[in-house]
Structure 1
Amino acid sequence: MNIPLSILDLAPINKGQSVGEGIAASVALAQRAEAFGYRRVWYAEHHNMSSIASSATSVLIAHIAANTSTIRLGAGGVMLPNHSPLTIAEQFGTLASIHPGRIDLGLGRAPGSDQMTARAMRRDPGSSDRFPDDVLELQGYLSGKSLVPGVTAVPGQGTEVPLYILGSSLFGAQLAAAFGLPFAFASHFAPASLMEAMAIYRRDFQPGAQLTEPYAFAALNVIAADSAEEAERELHLVKRARVSLLYGRSGRTFTDEEADLVIESDAGRQIEQMVRYSAVGTASEVRNYLDEFAELTGADELITAHQASTTEFRLRSVELTADAMATV
């Protein structure tokens, strides 16, 4: 099966790396993705996480766009309730003006953080409820048909930056269908509602200004290696890293032994559930899994999250996956 492949880059700061080194690794990944024919790379807005460097999402996209030439880049996504629609329209309108035809804007309604961090960002507790209206307001700014009298986005007006609704529940599917927008399901970490959400999106889709037919993405984890044993070892390292991500806030760190104990405990079931959809193995094994996953979900495009403990391993996974999927 030939299906477009894209990448979700969580902009990881691996153990022993500085933030600058982590960002440089994301530049290298985008360059490698461009060279190997991936359609796009997206970056997610996360806050107060010591191992993720994509909190200032639009700034990171600008830097990577300046160091690549053709690949599409975007947010996967901006957590819109953290911001005013006008601010995001101006930021992504600026990006689209500098890099025309290359910028995507995926939108989510989660905080991308914990409650204390949301408070530090001055997030309004009721902002999630306004998400549908904020999406329409943002779309108005970017199309040049502002819904706010006397207010235009400059830059932004008329750039028509394409919008994508992201979700890990049924709400995003319903909203994307109602607004006639593409939909991306975050099954790389929240797989439970994947199939139902995809079905609802396609069943209820209403054509809009951006799309006349539904277009759905499904995300999954990918660990491609030169041997199956190497891939399985890397998967275990990824699970250890998830322990720190889930349970290591406020400076809490885990030794490898402690992380393994968490993985083996009841708490580890959440981590196992998060990686339910994961293509792990050699290039041919990964291709087989991706083909089956695409057929299962009916996705129009796959978002691959290449999980790895080192930059070198992640880049190798990107290469092996692209080569395998290009082989007929």
Structure 2
Amino acid sequence: MAKNEFDIIKHYFAQQQLHRDDVALAIGDDCALVDVPADHYVAVSTDSLVAGTHFLADADPALVAYKALASNLSDLAAMGATPAWVSLALTLPTIDEAWLAPFCHSFFELANQYNIQLIGGDTTKGPLSITLTVQGLVPRGQALTRSGAQVGDDVYVTGNLGDSAAGLTLILNQHHCDANLASVLVERHFKASPRISVGESLRGIASAALDISDGVVADVKHIVDRSKVAIEIDVEQLPLSAELLAFCGGDRQRAQQLALSSGEEYELCFTAPTAKRDALKAALAHTNVKYSCIGKVKAGSNLSLLQLGKPLTWQLSGWDHFVVTNN
């Protein structure tokens, strides 16, 4: 039985079977040592998940672990980086082995799937929170950023949009629907698929990219700001799942609004020149990931929504961690 921080590390976090050749020293010393291949950058991202903000305190720990790592892997995907190493800082109210066991099993299962090794971190006592720092590798000169969009580029998203918001609404008991439908949407909230293969395939094709963590209307504005362009989104082209439409009772406008504002989707949004449409199709064919063209990059400095060629005045906002505090 784990009695202290060092027991937790020994029994739960030093047990990953995956051992990458580029890790010279991992858990057990003051620092980890890793070997970076020549002509590569290290892409680094840190995110925290806090009970009461990102997940309910009584949520399934296996789902919490998956969501924590998947959301961080999504940041690497957005940069076109290949996952390599991860550090975990875990704060627990008490040593709860019934919580730790499924958390670690789920965490390592996903980590092994993406060939990412846990190389260090910290455990401490306090309100339940999880902080991950993921590191990946990207060839020099090939990283995807938010600042390269050009006038005339197409705007794309992967997957479907809005399901995560629908799942969260069900988790918070703010909506009721068929049990099977609810199960699907709740799982999509917790278990997004990091688009690593898509990000890697977009190197040399996409002009700008990011992942959708705060909602399309919020995140696309980052490309607008960093690239100094305008973007038009055609709401009729938003990819909507059959489950989202069923959740919305067939109300397509409501589904479109959820698709635009839903946070924690962890799909990729990217821009690419029209001339590279065929190259894009060929590059993503092996990923088996759906992607949709939803708009166009224009001259200017704003984000606008269109429907059948006419401007919309919907007042939508994305996810805000300092406003929404009960999920």
TM-score by length of 1: 0.27
TM-score by length of 2: 0.27
Q: Going by fraction, where is strand more abundant, 1 or 2?
A: 2
Greater C-alpha Rg: 2
The structure with higher relative contact order (CA 8 Å, sep 6+) is 2
